[in-house]
Amino acid sequence: MLELKDICYRVSTPEGETDILNHIDLTIPDHKLVVFTGPNGGGKTTLAKIIMGLVRPTGGQILYNGRDITDLSITDRARLGISYGFQQPPRFKGITVHDLLLLSAGSEKLSKDRCCQYLTRVGLCANDYLDREVDVSLSGGEVKRIEIATILARNSQLMIFDEPEAGIDLWSFARLTETFEQIHNEGRSTMIIISHQERIIQLADEIIVVSGGAIAHRGTTEEIFPLILADTLGSCPVLEKKEAKL
Ligand SMILES: Nc1ncnc2c1ncn2[C@@H]1O[C@H](COP(=O)(O)OP(=O)(O)OP(=O)(O)O)[C@@H](O)[C@H]1O
């Protein structure tokens, strides 16, 4: 179980101190698929990075399976079984897709067949990719899918995916949503997926709407979808204020 207690994140900007996240309390039970969604700049990635240890909160506590991991490094969190797929994954010149999958699997000896299966699950043909370097010659969507395959190969207890749909074509996206559904049905991992995609949101046990650095809403698809629609149909609050003055 993952517990976030009173998480705050404040940064210094030229304009002064800014609160990016404000007193977030959140519990995610094991084996759930939770989607973080909400407007751009709402704080979803920052929250996910805080869970992975890529960003240090300025207040609050993170517990994982009852253990306080607030001060643990990314490496230590990875050892505990937490993994993270970046919104814009890094490239690794000189390292092939095959190498990266083997590294991700750690001590588990991955057969070539198994590597192929991971690539197939993200819609890539292993023959075309296993021996390619993860460098700038790969497109954004290809790197994104390879990174997701490495997370699958890690077989983590808690997988965090930041906008896995970004830059991915419709065919691969369909394959990817199937893969998320399968992992969820297998019931071995907890998944946090940051997404704006209806198809992914519909897979969620719980949707967390992060807006203005806080949890604006949380609930099931049936509960949250009408709220999201109502929010998107609303107009700009600044314009509304101006119109009210006229
Ligand atoms: N270190 C920082 N310094 C200043 N502002 C920051 C910093 N980190 C994040 N922000 C700001 O905090 C806000 C939340 O950013 P975050 O990336 O978490 O949003 P998001 O909900 O993931 O957005 P998107 O949907 O666009 O990916 C943004 O306005 C961002 O510019």
Query: Model ipTM?
Result: 0.96
Return the ligand 1 atom nearest residue 196 CA: 25
Tokens at 27, concatenated: 């519990």
pLDDT tens string 124-178: 888 888 899 998 898 888 888 898 899 989 888 999 999 988 888 888 888 889 8
Query: In angstroms, what CA-CA distances link 164 with 11, 22, 37, 86?
Result: 27, 26, 13, 8
Dist CA 184 CA 121 (whole Å): 14
Confidence of residue 15 (pLDDT cuts 50, 70, 90): confident
Query: In angstroms, what CA-CA distances link 75 with 2, 98, 162, 223?
Result: 17, 22, 19, 37
Tokens at 169, concatenated: 């074509």
pLDDT at 21: 97
Number of H helices, E strands in the chain: 10, 12
> Is the pLDDT reported for residue 241 higher than 60?
no
Residue closest via CA to ligand 1's atom 2 equals 11
Site to probe by mutation for ligand 1, drawn from 45, 49, 195 as the one with most ligand atoms within 8 Å of Cβ, is 45
Distance from the alpha carbon of residue 60 to the mean position of ligand 1, in angstroms: 19
Q: What residues pair up with 96 in beta bridges, in sequence order?
A: 133
- Number of Cβ within 10 Å of residue 25's Cβ equals 11
- Angle at which helices 112-121 and 97-105 pack, to 10 degrees? 100
SS3 content of the chain, % helix, strand, coil (to 5): 40, 30, 30
Helix, strand or coil for residue 116?
helix
Confidence of residue 1 (pLDDT cuts 50, 70, 90): very high
Quickly tell me which residue has 């800014």 as its tokens: 18
Quickly tell me which residue has 């991700």 as its tokens: 104
Domains and CATH numbers, the chain: 2-233 (3.40.50.300)
Residues near ligand 1 (Cβ within 6 A): 11, 13, 20, 38, 40-46
pLDDT at 169: 85
